[in-house]
Amino acid sequence: MQQGAPASPAWQLLHELAAAGEGGDTLDAAQLGILVDLCASTLRQGEEWGFSDEKLSVLLGLVKETHAASVRGRLTLEASFRFFRDSLLNHSVQRPPFSIGVFAQHETRAVLQWFISSYYRHYKLYQYAFTDRVTLDVSTRHPWELVEAPPCPPPLAEAITNEQHEEELERQRQE
Residue 52 predicted with pLDDT over 70? yes
**How high is the pLDDT of residue 2?**
46
Residue 64 belongs to some domain of the structure: yes
Residue 41 belongs to some domain of the structure: yes
Residue 81 belongs to some domain of the structure: yes
Mean pLDDT of 105-128: 95
| Per-residue pLDDT tens over the stretch 19-35 | 555 555 677 878 877 88
| Domains identified in the chain, total number | 1
Residue 47 predicted with pLDDT over 50? yes
**How high is the pLDDT of residue 135?**
82
Q: How confident is the model at residue 59 (pLDDT cuts 50, 70, 90)?
A: very high
Residue 69 belongs to some domain of the structure: yes
- Mean pLDDT score across all residues of the chain: 84
DSSP the chain: --TTPPPPHHHHHHHHHHHHTTTGGGS-HHHHHHHHHHHHHHHHHHHHTT--HHHHHHHHHHHHHHHHHHHHHT--HHHHHHHHHHHHHHTTS-BTTTB---S-HHHHHHHHHHHHHHTGGGHHHHHHHTSPP---------HHHHSPPPPPPPPGGG---HHHHHHHHHHHHH-
Q: How confident is the model at residue 85 (pLDDT cuts 50, 70, 90)?
A: very high
Q: How confident is the model at residue 150 (pLDDT cuts 50, 70, 90)?
A: confident
Residue 82 belongs to some domain of the structure: yes
pTM of the predicted protein model: 0.66
Mean pLDDT of 7-24: 57
Residue 123 belongs to some domain of the structure: yes
- Domain span including residue 92: 9-129
Residue 158 belongs to some domain of the structure: no
